[in-house]
Structures are given as structure tokens and as C-alpha cells.
Amino acid sequence: MTVKRDEVQIHGLEELTRTLKALPNELTASSRGGILALALRDIANMVKKDIIADAPVGTGEEYVSFKGQKIKVEHGRLKRAVRVRRDKNPHLVGMTENIQIKMYKGRSRLDKNAAWFWFMVNFGTEKQAPQPFFTGAFDKNQTQMIPTFEKGMDKRLKTAIRKAKKHGFELNYE
């Protein structure tokens, strides 16, 4: 099975990034990566919300055998396993910022928040038809990604400019 990673590349970010880096750190930096990372996180959270809404939930009592024990399966694992993460070193993969939507696979099959089986549900198997909750959410939100990014950047740039003016910097933004 071949899995193609979906990516969205926005051109013109190099110039925007240089402009943002020219601002003082106390105006733009945050523990979550600054203005650009937060605007990208808005997109990721929008997709995450749809992944959670579309994730199938099992019904009835199901058990799995693990190391000779019969363990009852908790429903809703797919919904609890969706994570949005920021790559702390995006330059290593040639990017300015890298926000990822991942499925938490867990340390063991007993982890109640893990969904190590998510790809089998999403892409299907020989015995199970695919239920594309993960890839389907990305496709569903493609038209909203750019407007959400623009709205997030606009909001955060206006906040940064307001802070800059309080600190004596002269910046203009329309």
C-alpha cells in the first residue's frame, strides 16, 4: 500500500517570514512558534475538528486478545488519538514552518488514547472497506484553508503592530 502525504504549500511565505523576523522577538514570538505557526495551527485545528467529527466509533462489545488476556475495547479511540504538533526544527526538512496533524499510535495496544490501527480504518484492508475519515477531512477543508490562513495572519499581524506601536516602533499594515 502506498500512502501519499498531502501537503499545502503557500508561495510568497519567504518574504513574509523575513518581514516577521524583522520584528522584535517580544512582539512576535511565543512558545507555539509565533505569528506564522499560529496561523497554520488554525488550519490544522480546523481539519482536526473534521477528523474527529468523521472518525467512526465502534458499537457493541468488542474484545481483543493481548498477551493471553481478553481485553474489552474502548470505543472512541480514533477521536481521542488526533494530535496537532509543531515541528521545532522545520528548517531540517527545508520549510519555514511545519505543523502536522498526526494520529497518536501509543506505546502499547492497551493505551486508551492510542489508535495504532487508524490507517486500517482509513484506507481499508482485504476484509474491511475503507472509511476515509482522515484523508476525507483534508479534502473537505481544502477550499477553506487559504481564507482561514489569511484571517489568522491578519488578526495576529494587527495584534503585533498594536504591540509594536506601544513599544515605539512605526509599522504600517493594510
Interval 47-60 mean pLDDT: 89
User: Is residue 105 assigned to a domain?
Assistant: yes
pLDDT in tens, 140-156: 998 999 899 889 888 88
Overall domain count for the chain: 1
- Indicate whether 13 belongs to any domain: no
Nearest in space to 105 (alpha carbons), one of 133, 77, 85: 77
pLDDT tens track for 82-124: 999 888 887 787 777 788 899 888 877 777 778 888 888 899 9
Domain assignment of residue 150, given as a range: 28-166
Q: Name the nearest CA neighbour of 84 among 104, 112, 105.
A: 104
